[in-house]
Amino acid sequence: MHSDAELSRDVAREAGQLLLELRASFGPIDDKAAANALRKQADRASHLFIMGRLGRARPDDAILSEEGKDNDERLSARRVWIVDPLDGTFEYGQGRADFAVHIALWEPEGSILSATTVDLPAQELTRSVLDVVGAPAPLPTDRPVRIVASRSRPPATLPRTVEILSRRLAEAGITDQGVEIIDVGSVGAKVNEIIAGRAEAYVHDTGFYEWDVAAPYGVAAHYGLVPSHVDGSPIMFNVMPPYVTDLVVSHPALVAHLRAALVEAAAS
C-alpha cells in the first residue's frame, strides 16, 4: 500500500504524463479556439483521472478539486485532498513548460498540510515532500535578487517594493546587485524557480484559490523556504469558500527584509 506521500507523488506524475500525451496528440493548436479546446479537455481529463485514483485508494477522504463541484461536506472531513489537475492552464495551451499538477493532503485536526506534490511534467521534474533536501543556497551576490510574480496580476505595489528591498539589502551589506521581477506561469512553477535557485521570492496579493496554493505551499516549506500570508501568518486550508487572499514564499535569509519592504511599500 502506498503512503499518502507516495500516492500524491505517483498520481501527480501520472496525471502529468496524461497532460503531455494529450497535448502531443491533440493536433495543430494554431488559433485561440483550438488552444481553449485543448485546455478544457486537459483540465477535465486530468481531474477525472486524479479523482478516480484518489477515490479508489482513499475512499473515505474528501477531495477539493478546481474542476469538481464543491460543497460544505468537506468541512467536517478528517482528511481532505486539495487538487489542481492543471495549474497554469493558459501556459499549457500555449505549448509552454511552466504548468503543473498540484496534489496535497490537508488534515484539519492539527491543521497539517502533508503529502504535497508539484509535478512539472514538461520539465520532467517532480517536487515532493519525499525529496531529500538540504538548506537553501545562500542569497546570490553575482546577480539581482529575483521576485517571481504573476504576469497578468502582479501586486500593484511591487515596483515600489523592489525599490525599497534593493535599498534595504544594500544597506544591510547583503548585496548591491538590486532586485528584479520575473514572471512564470503556474504557482508550482513559480515556487520551483525559488527551489532551483533561479529566484528568491514569490509575492501575490490579488487572491486565488486553495488548489493554486496548497501543494506549492507544502513543497516550499519542505525545501526550507518560508511560505505565509503577506503579514507572516500561516495559511489555513479547507475553508468555505476555498479562497486565499495572498501569498508570499521567500528564501529564509530574505524574508524579514521582504516583509518590511512590503509593509513600507503599502504605506507609501
pLDDT tens for 169-208 read 999 999 999 999 999 999 999 999 999 999 999 999 999 9
> pTM score > 0.85 for this model?
yes
pLDDT value for 1? 66
Q: Give the Cβ contact number of residue 163 at 10 Å.
A: 16
Q: Which domain holds residue 90?
A: 4-128
Q: What is the CATH number of the domain that holds 100?
A: 3.30.540.10
Q: Is residue 138 part of a domain?
A: no
Q: Are residues 115 and 156 in the same domain?
A: no
Domain C-terminal end among 128, 162, 185? 128
Helix, strand, coil percent content, the chain, rounded in steps of 5: 40, 20, 35
Q: Are residues 232 and 190 in the same domain?
A: yes
Q: Is residue 136 part of a domain?
A: no
How is residue 221 written as a grid cell? 516549506
Q: What is the CATH number of the domain that holds 192?
A: 3.40.190.80
Q: Are residues 50 and 153 in the same domain?
A: no
The beta strands (E) that lie in the chain are given as 62-65, 80-87, 100-107, 112-120, 125-128, 145-149, 179-183, 201-204, 208-209, 226-228, 243-244, 247-250
Q: Is residue 88 part of a domain?
A: yes
Q: Is residue 133 part of a domain?
A: no
Q: What rounded mean pLDDT belongs to the chain?
A: 95
- Provide mean pLDDT across the span 241-254: 97
Q: Is residue 139 part of a domain?
A: no
Q: What band does 28 get if pLDDT is binned at 50, 70 and 90? A: confident
DSSP state of 203: E
Alpha-carbon Rg for the chain, nearest whole angstrom, is 19
Considering its fold, how many domains does the chain have in total? Answer: 2
How is residue 121 written as a grid cell? 511534467
